[in-house]
Structure 1
Amino acid sequence: MDVLAEANRMIARGENVISLAVGQPAAPAPQAARDAARLMLDHGRVAYTDALGRGDLRERIARHYQDAYGQSVASERIMVTTGSSAGFNLAFLAAFDPGDRIAIAAPGYPAYRNILKALGLVPVEHEVDASTGYVFTADHLRHLHESGPVAGVLVASPANPTGTMTPRDELRRLVEYADAAGIRFISDEIYHGLTYGQAEETALAFSDSPLVVNSFSKYYCMTGWRIGWLVLPPSLVRAAERIGQSLYISAPEMSQVAATAVFDSRDELDAVRTGYIRNRDLLAARLPGLGYRDIAPIDGAFYAYARIPEGAIGSTAFAKSILERCHVAITPGTDFDQRRGEGFVRLSYACDHASLGEALDRMQALLRG
Structure 2
Amino acid sequence: MTLKVARRGAIPPFIVMDVMTAAAERERTHGDALHLEVGQPSTPAPRGVIEAAKAALDRDRIGYTVALGVPELRERIARHYAETYGVDIPVRRIVATTGSSGGFMLSFLAAFEIGDRVALAAPGYPAYRNILKALGIEAVELPAGPETRFQPTAAMLEALDRPIDGLIVASPANPTGTMLSADELRDLAAYCHGAGIRLISDEIYHGIVYGEPGTTAASVSDSAVVINSFSKYFSMTGWRLGWMVVPDDLSRAVECLAQNLFISPPTLSQHAAVAAFDCVEELDRNVARYSANRRLLLDALPKAGLTRLAPADGAFYIYADVSHLTDDSEAFCRRMLAETGVAATPGVDFDPARGHGTVRFSFAGATEDMGEAADRLRRWLG
**TM interval, short-chain normalised:** over 0.9
2:199 corresponds to 1:194: no
2:289 corresponds to 1:275: yes
Tell me the residue number matched to 1:170. Answer: 184
1:309-338 CA-partner distances (Å, limit 9, x unpaired): 623342111111110111010010111001
CA distance, structure 2, for counterparts of residue 222 and residue 103 of structure 1: 29
One-letter identity of the residue aligned with 2:41: P
2:155 paired residue among 114, 136, 139: 139
Q: How far 1:16 sits from its partner (Å)?
A: 1.1
Tell me the residue number matched to 2:137. Answer: 121
Higher mean C-alpha displacement, 311-320 vs 266-275: 311-320
Tell me the residue number matched to 2:238. Answer: 224
CA distance, structure 1, for counterparts of residue 307 and residue 119 of structure 2: 27
2:52 corresponds to 1:36: yes
1:74-99 CA-partner distances (Å, limit 9, x unpaired): 01001100000000000000111111
Check whether the contact 1:130–1:295 (CA below 8 A) recurs between aligned residues. Answer: no
> Where does structure 1 lack aligned partners over 5 or more consecutive residues?
none
Check whether the contact 2:317–2:362 (CA below 8 A) recurs between aligned residues. Answer: yes
1:215 paired residue among 229, 245, 258: 229
Tell me the residue number matched to 2:10. Answer: none
CA distance, structure 2, for counterparts of residue 165 and residue 151 of structure 1: 23
Tell me the residue number matched to 1:314. Answer: 328
* Secondary structure at the counterpart of residue 32 of structure 2: coil
| 1:278-289 alignment runs, 5 A limit | 278-289=292-303
1:332 paired residue among 343, 346, 349: 346
* Secondary structure at the counterpart of residue 288 of structure 1: helix
CA distance, structure 2, for counterparts of residue 313 and residue 76 of structure 1: 49
2:260 corresponds to 1:246: yes
2:363 corresponds to 1:342: no
CA distance, structure 1, for counterparts of residue 114 and residue 265 of structure 2: 26
Q: How far 1:154 sits from its partner (Å)?
A: 0.4
CA distance, structure 1, for counterparts of residue 250 and residue 151 of structure 2: 28
Q: How far 1:288 sits from its partner (Å)?
A: 1.5
Q: How far 1:294 sits from its partner (Å)?
A: 2.6
Tell me the residue number matched to 1:93. Answer: 109
1:335-368 CA-partner distances (Å, limit 9, x unpaired): 1001110100000000011110001101111110
Q: Report sequence identity in percent.
A: 52
Residue 190 to residue 302, structure 1, CA distance change in 2 (3 Å): same
Check whether the contact 2:177–2:314 (CA below 8 A) recurs between aligned residues. Answer: yes
Q: How far 1:169 sits from its partner (Å)?
A: 0.9
* Secondary structure at the counterpart of residue 263 of structure 1: helix
Q: How far 1:215 sits from its partner (Å)?
A: 0.2
* Secondary structure at the counterpart of residue 278 of structure 2: coil
Tell me the residue number matched to 2:22. Answer: 6
2:99 paired residue among 75, 83, 88: 83
Tell me the residue number matched to 2:366. Answer: 352
* Secondary structure at the counterpart of residue 159 of structure 2: helix
CA distance, structure 2, for counterparts of residue 44 and residue 58 of structure 1: 18
CA distance, structure 1, for counterparts of residue 270 and residue 85 of structure 2: 22
1:35-82 CA-partner distances (Å, limit 9, x unpaired): 011111123510100000000100000000000100000010011000
Tell me the residue number matched to 1:300. Answer: 314
CA distance, structure 2, for counterparts of residue 22 and residue 315 of structure 1: 16
1:154 paired residue among 146, 168, 172: 168
* Secondary structure at the counterpart of residue 52 of structure 2: helix
Higher mean C-alpha displacement, 132-141 vs 349-358: 132-141
Check whether the contact 1:130–1:294 (CA below 8 A) recurs between aligned residues. Answer: no
1:158-195 CA-partner distances (Å, limit 9, x unpaired): 00000000111111110000010011000000000011
One-letter identity of the residue aligned with 1:31: R
> Where does structure 2 lack aligned partners over 5 or more consecutive residues?
1-16
Check whether the contact 1:104–1:153 (CA below 8 A) recurs between aligned residues. Answer: yes
Cα RMSD over matched residues? 1.0
Higher mean C-alpha displacement, 306-315 vs 221-230: 306-315
Q: How far 1:135 sits from its partner (Å)?
A: 2.0
Tell me the residue number matched to 1:185. Answer: 199
Aligned length: 366
CA distance, structure 2, for counterparts of residue 81 and residue 132 of structure 1: 32
CA distance, structure 2, for counterparts of residue 119 and residue 55 of structure 1: 31
One-letter identity of the residue aligned with 1:50: V
One-letter identity of the residue aligned with 2:53: A
Check whether the contact 1:290–1:309 (CA below 8 A) recurs between aligned residues. Answer: no
Tell me the residue number matched to 2:79. Answer: 63
2:125 paired residue among 103, 109, 120: 109
Check whether the contact 2:56–2:272 (CA below 8 A) recurs between aligned residues. Answer: no
* Secondary structure at the counterpart of residue 348 of structure 2: coil
1:46 paired residue among 54, 59, 62: 62
One-letter identity of the residue aligned with 1:238: R
